[in-house]
Chains A and B, each alone.
Chain A
Amino acid sequence: MVFFSKDTSAIPTFTFDGTPLELVTHFKYLGFTLTRDGSMHTAAEKMADNLRLAIARVYRTGSSKGITHRKHAMLWLFQVFALTAGLYGCQVWATFSLTYDSSVTTRAHVLHLGFLKKLLGVKKGTDTHCVLRKTGQMPIFFYWFRCTIRFWNSLFTLFKQPPS
């Protein structure tokens, strides 16, 4: 794959031991979908799908254990199963939405709040901050931000020099 290339006709064919290698426009590497334009939006969408599936799993587990009415237990299940799915690889794909304003348009943010509002049994129009405060949750971008800073710090330590 050649990142940041609009015109693919000028790209030569790469070979390995004489065998031509396929040129692709996207590739899943370590569970993370990379696209030719270098945009992280496709990866973010795929991860939102994973978050949606993980939330469904939380409901299924809650139902099978008969604990859907225990909000605290359901929040724990969300924290363990769903949030971790929504954070996978966020050090890279979530970097375009590391502020509250830029994160509110992401599907992951909507799914996160949707789960919390449904759990509390409040209307969809309920103020976001009230819902987060009541459930002891941070906006999802905060978790992404924390993971990114940790990743940055570990890179920083690894190279032992400040970035230019």
Chain B
Amino acid sequence: MKVFTAFLDLLAAYDSIPREKLWRHLQKKSPQYLRDIIQTIYTGCLYLLIDGDKNSGEVAPNKGLKQGCPLSPLLYSLYTNDIGRFLTVQRGAATALDSVQVPHCDYADDIALTSNTAECLQFQLNKFHNYTRFKGLKLNTA
């Protein structure tokens, strides 16, 4: 049996997460006091990029997760943990267990869609496209 797999690379996954959508998503998943703390961390942040004697001036990004922040991988995982709602399990690849089909494998922003037919994979790719639009993310197709 063939396994059709699409390895997908999201374009600047961390940097392109819309914060408003992230906070809305977390509303369903986390208590208010935790969201307040996280939002406070992200409020009023200014960045200054320095390269030798040159600097970028102050930058205040209004989207994206903080690079290097220990909380960012968790926030990214929480933000994208609804991918399963968009993909159809029945079109996923078969496994040794009759009752288990795997439509996607995810580790942070490394995503692989798996199916046993070309039609199913294209169907899942179309669904994934809807997902990226819904989440404000972009796929790197280059």
Contacts and interface: CB of A to CB of B under 8 A. Distances in A.
Interface stretch (A2-10, A40-48, A129-137, A143-151): A2-10
Contact of A3 (B5, B97, B118, B125): B5
A19 B100 contact: no
B69 interface: no
Contacts of A2: 2-5
A14 B125 contact: yes
Nearest to A1: B5
A19 B4 CA distance: 18
B65 interface: no
Interface in A71-101: none
B83 interface: no
B33 interface: no
Interface stretch (A53-61, A106-114, A119-127, A156-164): A156-164
A3 B99 contact: no
Interface in A2-26: 2-5, 11-12, 14-17, 19, 21
A159 B4 contact: no
B54 to A, nearest CB: 35
B109 to A, nearest CB: 11
Nearest to B141: A19
Contacts of B129: 16-17
Given A14-B121, A164-B96, A29 B6 contact: no
Which size bracket describes the interface of B in this complex?
Answer: 20 to 34
B41 interface: no
A12 B4 CA distance: 11
A11 B99 contact: no
A161 to B, nearest CB: 7
Contact of B7 (A1, A12, A164): A1
A12 B141 contact: no
Given A3-B4, A161-B99, 19 more contacts: A1-B5, A2-B3, A2-B4, A3-B3, A4-B3, A5-B2, A11-B118, A12-B122, A14-B118, A15-B125, A16-B8, A16-B125, A16-B128, A17-B129, A21-B6, A29-B112, A30-B107, A34-B5, A163-B97
Q: Lowest 5 CB-CB distances: which A-B pairs, in order?
A: A3-B3, A19-B141, A12-B118, A4-B2, A1-B5
7 contacts: A4-B2, A14-B6, A15-B125, A21-B141, A27-B7, A29-B112, A161-B97
